[in-house]
Structure 1
Protein backbone atom coordinates (compact mmCIF):
# COMPACT_ATOMS: atom_id res chain seq x y z
CA UNK A 1 0.00 0.00 0.00
CA UNK A 2 1.40 3.34 -1.08
CA UNK A 3 1.07 6.47 0.98
CA UNK A 4 0.34 9.85 -0.66
CA UNK A 5 3.31 12.16 -0.89
CA UNK A 6 3.45 14.71 1.84
CA UNK A 7 2.54 18.28 0.94
CA UNK A 8 5.45 20.53 0.18
CA UNK A 9 6.30 23.36 2.57
CA UNK A 10 5.24 25.85 -0.12
CA UNK A 11 1.75 24.34 -0.20
CA UNK A 12 1.33 24.89 3.56
CA UNK A 13 2.28 28.55 3.09
CA UNK A 14 -0.13 29.20 0.17
CA UNK A 15 -2.66 31.98 0.78
CA UNK A 16 -5.56 33.46 -1.16
CA UNK A 17 -5.41 37.25 -1.09
CA UNK A 18 -8.27 39.61 -1.83
CA UNK A 19 -6.70 42.26 -4.10
CA UNK A 20 -9.88 44.20 -4.64
CA UNK A 21 -11.18 42.93 -8.02
CA UNK A 22 -14.95 42.78 -8.28
CA UNK A 23 -17.57 42.63 -10.99
CA UNK A 24 -18.83 45.85 -12.54
CA UNK A 25 -22.36 46.48 -11.28
CA UNK A 26 -22.96 49.97 -12.70
CA UNK A 27 -25.02 51.07 -15.69
CA UNK A 28 -23.94 49.73 -19.08
CA UNK A 29 -24.31 52.62 -21.52
CA UNK A 30 -24.18 50.55 -24.70
CA UNK A 31 -23.04 50.99 -28.28
CA UNK A 32 -24.39 54.50 -28.85
CA UNK A 33 -22.45 55.88 -25.90
CA UNK A 34 -19.27 54.09 -27.00
CA UNK A 35 -19.62 55.42 -30.54
CA UNK A 36 -20.26 58.94 -29.27
CA UNK A 37 -17.25 58.75 -26.95
CA UNK A 38 -15.02 57.58 -29.80
CA UNK A 39 -16.35 60.41 -31.98
CA UNK A 40 -15.62 63.08 -29.35
CA UNK A 41 -12.18 61.62 -28.57
CA UNK A 42 -11.23 61.56 -32.27
CA UNK A 43 -12.58 65.06 -32.92
CA UNK A 44 -10.60 66.47 -30.01
CA UNK A 45 -7.50 64.63 -31.22
CA UNK A 46 -7.85 66.22 -34.67
CA UNK A 47 -7.06 69.58 -33.04
CA UNK A 48 -4.64 68.28 -30.43
CA UNK A 49 -7.06 68.85 -27.55
CA UNK A 50 -6.39 66.68 -24.53
CA UNK A 51 -2.75 66.32 -25.58
CA UNK A 52 0.41 68.34 -25.01
CA UNK A 53 0.74 71.96 -26.12
CA UNK A 54 3.18 70.82 -28.79
CA UNK A 55 0.42 68.72 -30.40
CA UNK A 56 -1.80 71.79 -30.77
CA UNK A 57 0.73 73.91 -32.68
CA UNK A 58 0.23 72.41 -36.16
CA UNK A 59 -3.58 72.10 -36.26
CA UNK A 60 -4.22 75.54 -34.80
CA UNK A 61 -1.39 77.06 -36.84
CA UNK A 62 -2.93 75.66 -40.04
CA UNK A 63 -6.35 76.90 -38.93
CA UNK A 64 -4.95 80.42 -38.44
CA UNK A 65 -3.49 80.31 -41.96
CA UNK A 66 -6.81 78.98 -43.26
CA UNK A 67 -8.74 81.88 -41.72
CA UNK A 68 -6.30 84.64 -42.69
CA UNK A 69 -7.53 85.18 -46.29
CA UNK A 70 -11.08 85.60 -45.00
CA UNK A 71 -9.97 88.39 -42.68
CA UNK A 72 -7.86 90.01 -45.40
CA UNK A 73 -10.64 89.82 -48.02
CA UNK A 74 -13.09 91.49 -45.64
CA UNK A 75 -10.57 94.23 -44.88
CA UNK A 76 -9.95 94.81 -48.60
CA UNK A 77 -13.68 94.87 -49.41
CA UNK A 78 -14.32 97.35 -46.61
CA UNK A 79 -11.37 99.62 -47.42
CA UNK A 80 -11.71 99.69 -51.20
CA UNK A 81 -15.50 99.62 -51.22
CA UNK A 82 -16.02 96.44 -53.28
CA UNK A 83 -19.50 95.14 -54.09
CA UNK A 84 -18.50 91.55 -53.27
CA UNK A 85 -15.77 89.65 -51.47
CA UNK A 86 -12.64 88.80 -53.49
CA UNK A 87 -13.03 85.08 -52.67
CA UNK A 88 -16.46 83.48 -53.03
CA UNK A 89 -17.87 81.34 -50.24
CA UNK A 90 -17.98 78.15 -52.32
CA UNK A 91 -14.55 78.86 -53.78
CA UNK A 92 -12.84 79.38 -50.43
CA UNK A 93 -12.02 75.69 -49.63
CA UNK A 94 -10.70 75.28 -53.18
CA UNK A 95 -8.58 78.43 -52.93
CA UNK A 96 -7.05 77.04 -49.72
CA UNK A 97 -6.64 73.44 -50.94
CA UNK A 98 -2.91 73.18 -50.05
CA UNK A 99 -3.69 74.07 -46.42
CA UNK A 100 -6.68 71.72 -46.37
CA UNK A 101 -4.46 68.95 -47.73
CA UNK A 102 -1.86 69.53 -45.01
CA UNK A 103 -4.54 69.44 -42.32
CA UNK A 104 -6.03 66.20 -43.67
CA UNK A 105 -2.57 64.65 -43.88
CA UNK A 106 -2.09 65.58 -40.23
CA UNK A 107 -5.50 64.56 -38.85
CA UNK A 108 -6.47 61.41 -40.77
CA UNK A 109 -3.37 59.28 -39.98
CA UNK A 110 -3.56 60.33 -36.34
CA UNK A 111 -7.14 59.05 -36.15
CA UNK A 112 -6.53 55.58 -37.55
CA UNK A 113 -2.84 54.74 -38.00
CA UNK A 114 -1.97 54.66 -34.30
CA UNK A 115 -4.75 52.16 -33.54
CA UNK A 116 -3.43 49.94 -36.32
CA UNK A 117 0.18 50.29 -35.25
CA UNK A 118 -0.47 49.48 -31.59
CA UNK A 119 -2.97 46.72 -32.50
CA UNK A 120 -5.75 48.12 -30.32
CA UNK A 121 -8.52 47.45 -32.84
CA UNK A 122 -9.43 43.98 -31.40
CA UNK A 123 -9.80 45.64 -27.99
CA UNK A 124 -12.28 48.12 -29.43
CA UNK A 125 -14.26 45.32 -31.05
CA UNK A 126 -14.32 43.04 -28.00
CA UNK A 127 -17.36 44.97 -26.76
CA UNK A 128 -19.64 46.72 -27.37
CA UNK A 129 -18.82 48.14 -30.86
CA UNK A 130 -17.95 46.47 -34.16
CA UNK A 131 -16.24 47.57 -37.38
CA UNK A 132 -19.26 49.54 -38.60
CA UNK A 133 -19.49 51.50 -35.35
CA UNK A 134 -15.76 52.26 -35.37
CA UNK A 135 -15.78 53.45 -38.99
CA UNK A 136 -18.95 55.52 -38.45
CA UNK A 137 -17.39 57.31 -35.46
CA UNK A 138 -14.07 57.97 -37.22
CA UNK A 139 -15.77 59.06 -40.45
CA UNK A 140 -18.09 61.44 -38.61
CA UNK A 141 -15.29 62.90 -36.47
CA UNK A 142 -12.97 63.69 -39.40
CA UNK A 143 -15.93 65.11 -41.36
CA UNK A 144 -16.83 67.35 -38.42
CA UNK A 145 -13.21 68.41 -37.92
CA UNK A 146 -12.79 69.32 -41.59
CA UNK A 147 -16.16 71.08 -41.68
CA UNK A 148 -15.11 73.29 -38.77
CA UNK A 149 -11.78 73.87 -40.51
CA UNK A 150 -13.49 75.16 -43.67
CA UNK A 151 -16.81 76.57 -42.41
CA UNK A 152 -15.46 78.87 -39.68
CA UNK A 153 -13.37 80.96 -42.13
CA UNK A 154 -16.39 81.14 -44.43
CA UNK A 155 -18.47 82.35 -41.49
CA UNK A 156 -15.83 84.98 -40.67
CA UNK A 157 -16.04 86.21 -44.26
CA UNK A 158 -19.85 86.29 -44.08
CA UNK A 159 -19.92 88.32 -40.86
CA UNK A 160 -17.36 90.68 -42.32
CA UNK A 161 -19.41 91.01 -45.49
CA UNK A 162 -22.48 91.99 -43.49
CA UNK A 163 -20.47 94.53 -41.51
CA UNK A 164 -19.19 95.94 -44.81
CA UNK A 165 -22.84 96.27 -45.95
CA UNK A 166 -22.41 94.14 -49.07
CA UNK A 167 -26.09 93.16 -49.12
CA UNK A 168 -27.82 90.88 -46.63
CA UNK A 169 -29.91 88.82 -49.06
CA UNK A 170 -27.13 88.13 -51.54
CA UNK A 171 -24.54 87.42 -48.86
CA UNK A 172 -26.86 85.09 -46.94
CA UNK A 173 -27.74 83.11 -50.06
CA UNK A 174 -24.09 82.76 -51.08
CA UNK A 175 -23.09 81.92 -47.51
CA UNK A 176 -25.68 79.13 -47.35
CA UNK A 177 -24.34 77.67 -50.57
CA UNK A 178 -20.85 77.93 -49.11
CA UNK A 179 -21.86 75.94 -46.02
CA UNK A 180 -23.50 73.27 -48.18
CA UNK A 181 -20.35 72.99 -50.25
CA UNK A 182 -18.17 72.85 -47.10
CA UNK A 183 -20.30 69.94 -45.84
CA UNK A 184 -20.04 68.02 -49.13
CA UNK A 185 -16.34 68.84 -49.37
CA UNK A 186 -15.76 67.55 -45.82
CA UNK A 187 -17.64 64.26 -46.24
CA UNK A 188 -15.95 63.51 -49.55
CA UNK A 189 -12.41 64.28 -48.40
CA UNK A 190 -12.86 62.56 -45.04
CA UNK A 191 -13.65 59.28 -46.80
CA UNK A 192 -10.64 59.52 -49.11
CA UNK A 193 -8.21 60.55 -46.35
CA UNK A 194 -9.37 57.89 -43.87
CA UNK A 195 -9.28 55.09 -46.42
CA UNK A 196 -5.79 56.09 -47.54
CA UNK A 197 -4.53 56.33 -43.96
CA UNK A 198 -6.10 53.03 -42.92
CA UNK A 199 -4.01 51.12 -45.45
CA UNK A 200 -0.84 51.51 -43.37
CA UNK A 201 -0.03 51.46 -39.65
CA UNK A 202 2.87 53.86 -40.28
CA UNK A 203 1.75 57.41 -39.59
CA UNK A 204 4.50 58.90 -41.75
CA UNK A 205 3.48 56.77 -44.71
CA UNK A 206 -0.13 57.80 -44.14
CA UNK A 207 0.80 61.49 -44.21
CA UNK A 208 2.70 61.08 -47.48
CA UNK A 209 -0.05 58.97 -49.05
CA UNK A 210 -2.81 61.48 -48.22
CA UNK A 211 -0.77 64.35 -49.65
CA UNK A 212 -0.03 62.35 -52.78
CA UNK A 213 -3.62 61.30 -53.43
CA UNK A 214 -4.84 64.89 -53.06
CA UNK A 215 -2.14 66.70 -55.04
CA UNK A 216 -0.68 64.50 -57.78
CA UNK A 217 -3.99 63.74 -59.59
CA UNK A 218 -5.03 67.41 -59.31
CA UNK A 219 -1.90 68.74 -61.00
CA UNK A 220 -2.07 66.02 -63.65
CA UNK A 221 -5.71 66.83 -64.42
CA UNK A 222 -5.00 70.57 -64.52
CA UNK A 223 -2.19 70.01 -67.03
CA UNK A 224 -4.40 67.90 -69.29
CA UNK A 225 -7.19 70.48 -69.05
CA UNK A 226 -4.81 73.25 -70.13
CA UNK A 227 -3.77 71.17 -73.17
CA UNK A 228 -7.42 70.48 -74.05
CA UNK A 229 -8.27 74.18 -73.79
CA UNK A 230 -5.35 75.23 -75.96
CA UNK A 231 -6.48 72.74 -78.60
CA UNK A 232 -10.01 74.12 -78.53
CA UNK A 233 -11.58 71.07 -76.85
CA UNK A 234 -13.43 73.00 -74.14
CA UNK A 235 -16.18 70.36 -74.10
CA UNK A 236 -13.79 67.77 -72.72
CA UNK A 237 -12.48 69.94 -69.88
CA UNK A 238 -15.46 69.13 -67.66
CA UNK A 239 -15.12 65.39 -68.23
CA UNK A 240 -11.39 65.51 -67.48
CA UNK A 241 -12.18 67.19 -64.15
CA UNK A 242 -13.80 63.98 -62.91
CA UNK A 243 -10.36 62.41 -62.50
CA UNK A 244 -9.13 64.13 -59.30
CA UNK A 245 -10.67 65.05 -55.94
CA UNK A 246 -9.83 68.75 -56.24
CA UNK A 247 -11.15 69.26 -59.76
CA UNK A 248 -14.19 67.13 -58.90
CA UNK A 249 -15.12 69.52 -56.09
CA UNK A 250 -14.40 72.52 -58.33
CA UNK A 251 -16.74 71.30 -61.04
CA UNK A 252 -19.45 70.46 -58.50
CA UNK A 253 -19.49 73.91 -56.90
CA UNK A 254 -19.46 75.74 -60.23
CA UNK A 255 -22.21 73.60 -61.73
CA UNK A 256 -24.67 73.53 -58.81
CA UNK A 257 -23.71 76.08 -56.14
CA UNK A 258 -23.17 79.26 -58.11
CA UNK A 259 -19.39 79.35 -57.79
CA UNK A 260 -16.86 80.34 -60.41
CA UNK A 261 -14.92 77.50 -62.02
CA UNK A 262 -11.17 77.42 -61.52
CA UNK A 263 -10.73 75.36 -64.68
CA UNK A 264 -8.59 76.87 -67.49
CA UNK A 265 -10.34 79.91 -69.00
CA UNK A 266 -13.05 79.42 -66.33
CA UNK A 267 -14.71 76.74 -68.46
CA UNK A 268 -18.05 75.78 -66.90
CA UNK A 269 -19.32 72.23 -66.41
CA UNK A 270 -22.45 71.82 -68.54
CA UNK A 271 -24.57 69.16 -70.20
CA UNK A 272 -24.26 65.53 -69.20
CA UNK A 273 -21.00 66.22 -67.36
CA UNK A 274 -22.81 68.15 -64.59
CA UNK A 275 -24.88 65.25 -63.17
CA UNK A 276 -21.84 63.01 -63.61
CA UNK A 277 -20.06 65.07 -60.95
CA UNK A 278 -22.82 64.35 -58.44
CA UNK A 279 -22.83 60.65 -59.24
CA UNK A 280 -19.04 60.33 -58.98
CA UNK A 281 -18.93 62.19 -55.64
CA UNK A 282 -21.68 59.97 -54.19
CA UNK A 283 -20.09 56.80 -55.57
CA UNK A 284 -16.59 57.58 -54.29
CA UNK A 285 -17.89 58.58 -50.84
CA UNK A 286 -19.94 55.40 -50.52
CA UNK A 287 -17.08 53.28 -51.85
CA UNK A 288 -14.65 54.79 -49.33
CA UNK A 289 -17.03 53.97 -46.49
CA UNK A 290 -17.63 50.40 -47.64
CA UNK A 291 -13.92 49.72 -48.13
CA UNK A 292 -13.17 51.14 -44.69
CA UNK A 293 -15.68 48.76 -43.08
CA UNK A 294 -14.15 45.82 -44.97
CA UNK A 295 -10.67 46.90 -43.93
CA UNK A 296 -11.56 47.00 -40.25
CA UNK A 297 -13.42 43.73 -40.32
CA UNK A 298 -10.13 42.13 -41.35
CA UNK A 299 -7.81 43.91 -38.92
CA UNK A 300 -10.27 43.40 -36.07
CA UNK A 301 -9.96 39.63 -36.18
Structure 2
Protein backbone atom coordinates (compact mmCIF):
# COMPACT_ATOMS: atom_id res chain seq x y z
CA UNK A 1 0.00 0.00 0.00
CA UNK A 2 1.32 3.43 -0.90
CA UNK A 3 0.39 6.79 0.56
CA UNK A 4 0.52 10.10 -1.27
CA UNK A 5 -0.11 13.39 0.42
CA UNK A 6 -1.94 16.00 -1.59
CA UNK A 7 -2.24 19.63 -0.56
CA UNK A 8 -5.55 21.23 -1.50
CA UNK A 9 -6.24 24.77 -0.40
CA UNK A 10 -3.83 24.46 2.51
CA UNK A 11 -5.51 21.35 3.91
CA UNK A 12 -3.67 18.04 3.83
CA UNK A 13 -5.50 15.09 2.25
CA UNK A 14 -4.37 11.52 2.03
CA UNK A 15 -5.04 9.18 -0.87
CA UNK A 16 -4.72 5.46 -0.13
CA UNK A 17 -4.00 2.87 -2.80
CA UNK A 18 -6.09 -0.10 -1.69
CA UNK A 19 -4.52 -2.41 -4.22
CA UNK A 20 -7.60 -3.19 -6.34
CA UNK A 21 -6.66 -4.80 -9.64
CA UNK A 22 -7.81 -2.85 -12.67
CA UNK A 23 -9.90 -4.49 -15.38
CA UNK A 24 -8.10 -4.37 -18.72
CA UNK A 25 -10.22 -6.93 -20.62
CA UNK A 26 -12.75 -6.35 -23.41
CA UNK A 27 -15.80 -4.21 -22.71
CA UNK A 28 -19.07 -5.37 -24.25
CA UNK A 29 -20.79 -2.00 -24.11
CA UNK A 30 -24.55 -1.44 -23.98
CA UNK A 31 -25.44 -4.79 -25.56
CA UNK A 32 -23.34 -6.67 -23.07
CA UNK A 33 -24.92 -4.77 -20.20
CA UNK A 34 -28.39 -5.58 -21.54
CA UNK A 35 -27.52 -9.28 -21.83
CA UNK A 36 -26.11 -9.32 -18.31
CA UNK A 37 -29.20 -7.68 -16.84
CA UNK A 38 -31.44 -10.05 -18.78
CA UNK A 39 -29.58 -13.19 -17.73
CA UNK A 40 -29.30 -12.11 -14.10
CA UNK A 41 -33.01 -11.27 -14.03
CA UNK A 42 -33.93 -14.59 -15.64
CA UNK A 43 -31.95 -16.47 -13.00
CA UNK A 44 -33.60 -14.40 -10.28
CA UNK A 45 -37.06 -15.39 -11.51
CA UNK A 46 -36.23 -19.02 -10.69
CA UNK A 47 -34.10 -18.32 -7.62
CA UNK A 48 -30.92 -19.63 -9.24
CA UNK A 49 -27.82 -18.74 -7.24
CA UNK A 50 -29.88 -17.64 -4.26
CA UNK A 51 -30.90 -19.31 -0.96
CA UNK A 52 -33.34 -22.21 -1.02
CA UNK A 53 -36.22 -20.09 0.28
CA UNK A 54 -35.95 -18.00 -2.89
CA UNK A 55 -36.58 -21.15 -4.94
CA UNK A 56 -39.69 -22.17 -2.97
CA UNK A 57 -42.31 -20.37 -5.06
CA UNK A 58 -40.78 -21.17 -8.50
CA UNK A 59 -40.39 -24.86 -7.65
CA UNK A 60 -43.88 -25.04 -6.15
CA UNK A 61 -45.55 -23.38 -9.13
CA UNK A 62 -43.68 -25.41 -11.74
CA UNK A 63 -44.32 -28.74 -10.00
CA UNK A 64 -47.95 -28.12 -9.10
CA UNK A 65 -48.83 -26.72 -12.52
CA UNK A 66 -47.33 -29.78 -14.21
CA UNK A 67 -49.10 -32.39 -12.09
CA UNK A 68 -52.61 -31.97 -13.61
CA UNK A 69 -51.15 -32.21 -17.11
CA UNK A 70 -49.27 -35.38 -16.25
CA UNK A 71 -52.36 -36.84 -14.57
CA UNK A 72 -54.48 -36.07 -17.64
CA UNK A 73 -51.98 -37.75 -19.94
CA UNK A 74 -51.86 -40.83 -17.70
CA UNK A 75 -55.67 -40.99 -17.62
CA UNK A 76 -55.89 -40.77 -21.40
CA UNK A 77 -53.26 -43.47 -21.79
CA UNK A 78 -54.97 -45.76 -19.28
CA UNK A 79 -58.30 -45.37 -21.07
CA UNK A 80 -56.62 -46.02 -24.44
CA UNK A 81 -57.94 -42.77 -25.85
CA UNK A 82 -61.51 -43.18 -24.61
CA UNK A 83 -61.13 -40.09 -22.40
CA UNK A 84 -60.42 -36.96 -24.49
CA UNK A 85 -57.54 -34.75 -23.47
CA UNK A 86 -58.85 -31.35 -22.35
CA UNK A 87 -56.23 -28.65 -22.85
CA UNK A 88 -58.28 -25.65 -21.78
CA UNK A 89 -59.90 -27.39 -18.82
CA UNK A 90 -56.50 -28.25 -17.40
CA UNK A 91 -54.85 -24.95 -18.30
CA UNK A 92 -57.54 -22.68 -16.88
CA UNK A 93 -56.97 -24.15 -13.44
CA UNK A 94 -53.29 -23.16 -13.59
CA UNK A 95 -53.86 -19.44 -14.21
CA UNK A 96 -53.91 -18.62 -10.50
CA UNK A 97 -50.58 -20.43 -10.06
CA UNK A 98 -49.06 -18.35 -12.84
CA UNK A 99 -50.33 -15.24 -11.08
CA UNK A 100 -48.67 -16.39 -7.85
CA UNK A 101 -45.39 -16.92 -9.69
CA UNK A 102 -45.39 -13.48 -11.30
CA UNK A 103 -46.53 -11.71 -8.13
CA UNK A 104 -43.83 -13.35 -6.03
CA UNK A 105 -40.91 -13.12 -8.44
CA UNK A 106 -41.35 -9.74 -10.18
CA UNK A 107 -40.56 -7.83 -6.96
CA UNK A 108 -37.43 -9.96 -6.55
CA UNK A 109 -36.01 -8.18 -9.59
CA UNK A 110 -37.44 -4.69 -9.67
CA UNK A 111 -38.28 -3.95 -6.03
CA UNK A 112 -35.04 -5.40 -4.65
CA UNK A 113 -32.93 -3.17 -6.89
CA UNK A 114 -34.64 -0.13 -5.40
CA UNK A 115 -34.73 -1.45 -1.85
CA UNK A 116 -31.02 -2.26 -1.72
CA UNK A 117 -30.08 0.87 -3.70
CA UNK A 118 -28.15 -0.91 -6.42
CA UNK A 119 -29.71 1.12 -9.22
CA UNK A 120 -27.02 3.83 -8.98
CA UNK A 121 -24.39 1.14 -9.61
CA UNK A 122 -26.32 -0.41 -12.50
CA UNK A 123 -26.98 2.94 -14.17
CA UNK A 124 -23.42 4.22 -13.95
CA UNK A 125 -22.25 3.13 -17.41
CA UNK A 126 -23.75 1.79 -20.64
CA UNK A 127 -27.18 1.25 -19.08
CA UNK A 128 -29.97 3.75 -19.53
CA UNK A 129 -33.12 3.69 -17.45
CA UNK A 130 -35.14 2.53 -20.46
CA UNK A 131 -32.73 -0.29 -21.33
CA UNK A 132 -32.74 -1.39 -17.69
CA UNK A 133 -36.55 -1.55 -17.67
CA UNK A 134 -36.70 -3.43 -20.98
CA UNK A 135 -33.99 -5.91 -19.94
CA UNK A 136 -35.84 -6.72 -16.73
CA UNK A 137 -39.14 -7.02 -18.60
CA UNK A 138 -37.60 -9.30 -21.22
CA UNK A 139 -36.21 -11.55 -18.48
CA UNK A 140 -39.56 -11.76 -16.77
CA UNK A 141 -41.46 -12.41 -19.99
CA UNK A 142 -39.08 -15.23 -20.94
CA UNK A 143 -39.42 -16.86 -17.54
CA UNK A 144 -43.20 -16.50 -17.57
CA UNK A 145 -43.38 -17.91 -21.10
CA UNK A 146 -41.53 -21.06 -20.07
CA UNK A 147 -43.72 -21.52 -16.99
CA UNK A 148 -46.93 -20.96 -18.97
CA UNK A 149 -45.76 -23.20 -21.82
CA UNK A 150 -44.68 -26.18 -19.73
CA UNK A 151 -48.16 -27.60 -18.86
CA UNK A 152 -49.38 -27.19 -22.44
CA UNK A 153 -46.24 -28.79 -23.82
CA UNK A 154 -46.70 -31.78 -21.52
CA UNK A 155 -50.28 -32.19 -22.80
CA UNK A 156 -49.15 -31.81 -26.42
CA UNK A 157 -46.30 -34.30 -26.19
CA UNK A 158 -48.32 -36.60 -23.96
CA UNK A 159 -51.16 -36.76 -26.46
CA UNK A 160 -48.68 -37.87 -29.10
CA UNK A 161 -46.93 -40.32 -26.81
CA UNK A 162 -50.04 -42.21 -25.64
CA UNK A 163 -51.49 -42.52 -29.14
CA UNK A 164 -51.67 -45.96 -30.72
CA UNK A 165 -49.65 -44.72 -33.69
CA UNK A 166 -47.59 -41.72 -32.43
CA UNK A 167 -46.20 -40.90 -35.89
CA UNK A 168 -49.67 -40.50 -37.39
CA UNK A 169 -50.89 -38.49 -34.40
CA UNK A 170 -47.85 -36.21 -34.65
CA UNK A 171 -48.65 -35.51 -38.29
CA UNK A 172 -52.29 -34.77 -37.45
CA UNK A 173 -51.44 -32.44 -34.55
CA UNK A 174 -49.32 -29.99 -36.49
CA UNK A 175 -52.05 -27.36 -36.28
CA UNK A 176 -52.32 -27.57 -32.50
CA UNK A 177 -48.80 -26.30 -31.78
CA UNK A 178 -49.90 -22.82 -32.91
CA UNK A 179 -52.60 -22.45 -30.22
CA UNK A 180 -50.16 -23.87 -27.65
CA UNK A 181 -47.52 -21.22 -28.41
CA UNK A 182 -50.06 -18.42 -28.80
CA UNK A 183 -51.72 -19.22 -25.48
CA UNK A 184 -48.42 -19.31 -23.61
CA UNK A 185 -47.25 -16.09 -25.27
CA UNK A 186 -50.38 -14.10 -24.45
CA UNK A 187 -50.53 -15.34 -20.86
CA UNK A 188 -46.85 -14.54 -20.30
CA UNK A 189 -47.28 -11.12 -21.89
CA UNK A 190 -50.15 -10.13 -19.60
CA UNK A 191 -48.62 -11.45 -16.39
CA UNK A 192 -45.11 -10.14 -16.99
CA UNK A 193 -45.96 -6.61 -18.10
CA UNK A 194 -48.56 -5.92 -15.40
CA UNK A 195 -46.42 -7.46 -12.65
CA UNK A 196 -43.29 -5.61 -13.75
CA UNK A 197 -45.11 -2.27 -13.88
CA UNK A 198 -46.53 -2.65 -10.38
CA UNK A 199 -43.30 -4.02 -8.90
CA UNK A 200 -41.37 -1.03 -10.21
CA UNK A 201 -43.60 1.36 -8.28
CA UNK A 202 -42.43 0.39 -4.79
CA UNK A 203 -39.20 -0.82 -3.18
CA UNK A 204 -41.15 -2.96 -0.72
CA UNK A 205 -41.59 -6.46 -2.07
CA UNK A 206 -44.58 -7.29 0.13
CA UNK A 207 -46.49 -4.25 -1.13
CA UNK A 208 -45.61 -5.10 -4.73
CA UNK A 209 -46.79 -8.70 -4.38
CA UNK A 210 -50.04 -7.61 -2.73
CA UNK A 211 -50.72 -4.98 -5.40
CA UNK A 212 -50.19 -7.47 -8.25
CA UNK A 213 -52.53 -10.07 -6.78
CA UNK A 214 -54.98 -7.37 -5.73
CA UNK A 215 -55.21 -5.85 -9.19
CA UNK A 216 -56.16 -9.14 -10.83
CA UNK A 217 -58.66 -9.97 -8.07
CA UNK A 218 -60.20 -6.49 -8.23
CA UNK A 219 -60.59 -6.88 -11.99
CA UNK A 220 -62.48 -10.11 -11.38
CA UNK A 221 -64.71 -8.45 -8.80
CA UNK A 222 -65.44 -5.51 -11.10
CA UNK A 223 -66.39 -7.82 -13.95
CA UNK A 224 -68.75 -9.81 -11.72
CA UNK A 225 -70.27 -6.62 -10.34
CA UNK A 226 -70.89 -5.18 -13.76
CA UNK A 227 -72.50 -8.41 -14.88
CA UNK A 228 -74.76 -8.88 -11.86
CA UNK A 229 -75.62 -5.26 -11.02
CA UNK A 230 -75.36 -3.34 -14.27
CA UNK A 231 -76.27 -6.08 -16.71
CA UNK A 232 -73.17 -5.54 -18.81
CA UNK A 233 -73.08 -8.01 -21.72
CA UNK A 234 -71.05 -11.17 -21.24
CA UNK A 235 -68.76 -10.27 -24.14
CA UNK A 236 -67.61 -7.14 -22.30
CA UNK A 237 -67.12 -8.97 -19.00
CA UNK A 238 -64.93 -11.50 -20.74
CA UNK A 239 -62.52 -8.73 -21.68
CA UNK A 240 -62.49 -6.87 -18.33
CA UNK A 241 -61.26 -9.78 -16.22
CA UNK A 242 -57.81 -10.93 -17.47
CA UNK A 243 -57.96 -14.28 -15.66
CA UNK A 244 -61.38 -15.12 -17.06
CA UNK A 245 -60.37 -13.83 -20.48
CA UNK A 246 -57.32 -16.12 -20.55
CA UNK A 247 -59.44 -19.10 -19.54
CA UNK A 248 -62.07 -18.37 -22.18
CA UNK A 249 -59.43 -17.79 -24.83
CA UNK A 250 -57.96 -21.20 -24.07
CA UNK A 251 -61.39 -22.78 -24.58
CA UNK A 252 -61.74 -21.04 -27.93
CA UNK A 253 -58.25 -21.81 -29.18
CA UNK A 254 -58.46 -25.50 -28.35
CA UNK A 255 -62.03 -25.92 -29.56
CA UNK A 256 -63.48 -26.81 -26.16
CA UNK A 257 -66.89 -25.36 -25.38
CA UNK A 258 -69.31 -25.34 -22.48
CA UNK A 259 -73.06 -24.98 -22.37
CA UNK A 260 -72.69 -21.37 -21.29
CA UNK A 261 -70.43 -20.57 -24.22
CA UNK A 262 -72.97 -22.07 -26.61
CA UNK A 263 -75.72 -19.86 -25.20
CA UNK A 264 -73.49 -16.76 -24.98
CA UNK A 265 -70.72 -16.98 -27.58
CA UNK A 266 -67.47 -15.31 -26.45
CA UNK A 267 -65.75 -12.54 -28.40
CA UNK A 268 -63.55 -13.53 -31.34
CA UNK A 269 -59.91 -14.42 -30.81
CA UNK A 270 -58.82 -11.13 -32.41
CA UNK A 271 -60.68 -9.20 -29.69
CA UNK A 272 -58.84 -11.06 -26.93
CA UNK A 273 -55.50 -10.48 -28.62
CA UNK A 274 -56.22 -6.78 -29.07
CA UNK A 275 -57.16 -6.35 -25.39
CA UNK A 276 -54.06 -8.22 -24.21
CA UNK A 277 -51.81 -6.15 -26.46
CA UNK A 278 -53.36 -2.93 -25.11
CA UNK A 279 -52.86 -4.11 -21.53
CA UNK A 280 -49.25 -5.05 -22.24
CA UNK A 281 -48.51 -1.77 -24.02
CA UNK A 282 -50.02 0.27 -21.21
CA UNK A 283 -48.16 -1.65 -18.50
CA UNK A 284 -44.86 -1.39 -20.40
CA UNK A 285 -45.36 2.37 -20.72
CA UNK A 286 -45.94 2.62 -16.96
CA UNK A 287 -42.80 0.58 -16.29
CA UNK A 288 -40.58 2.74 -18.49
CA UNK A 289 -42.13 5.95 -17.12
CA UNK A 290 -41.57 4.82 -13.56
CA UNK A 291 -37.93 3.83 -14.12
CA UNK A 292 -37.20 7.19 -15.75
CA UNK A 293 -38.42 8.99 -12.64
CA UNK A 294 -37.31 6.74 -9.82
CA UNK A 295 -34.81 8.37 -7.47
CA UNK A 296 -31.37 6.75 -7.39
Q: TM-score, normalization: structure 1?
A: 0.82
The answer to whether the 8 A contact 2:153-2:180 is kept is no
Match of 1:209 in 2: 211
Q: Structure 1 pair 16/127, CA: closer, same or farther in 2 (3 Å)?
A: closer
Shift of 1:227: 7.6
Pairs within 5 Å for 1:21-170: 21=20, 24-82=23-81, 85-88=84-87, 92-165=90-163, 167-170=169-172
Match of 1:278 in 2: 273
C-alpha separation between the residues in 1 aligned to 2:270 and 2:159? Answer: 32
RMSD of aligned Cα (Å) = 2.9
The answer to whether the 8 A contact 1:74-1:85 is kept is no
1:200 to 202, 212, 234: 202
Bigger radius of gyration among the two: 1
Match of 1:7 in 2: none
The answer to whether the 8 A contact 1:161-1:171 is kept is no
215-224 or 69-78, larger mean C-alpha shift: 215-224
C-alpha separation between the residues in 2 aligned to 1:185 and 1:119? Answer: 31
Q: Secondary structure at the match of 2:24?
A: coil
Higher strand share: 2
Match of 1:5 in 2: none
In the alignment, structure 2 segments of 5+ residues that lack a partner are: 1-12
Matched pairs, number: 281
The answer to whether the 8 A contact 1:121-1:299 is kept is no
In the alignment, structure 1 segments of 5+ residues that lack a partner are: 1-13
C-alpha separation between the residues in 2 aligned to 1:140 and 1:21? Answer: 34
Residue deviations 1:66-95 (CA, integer Å, cap 9, x gap): 10011000011111233564331x564432
Match of 1:292 in 2: 287
Match of 2:246 in 1: 249
Match of 2:256 in 1: 260
Shift of 1:125: 1.5
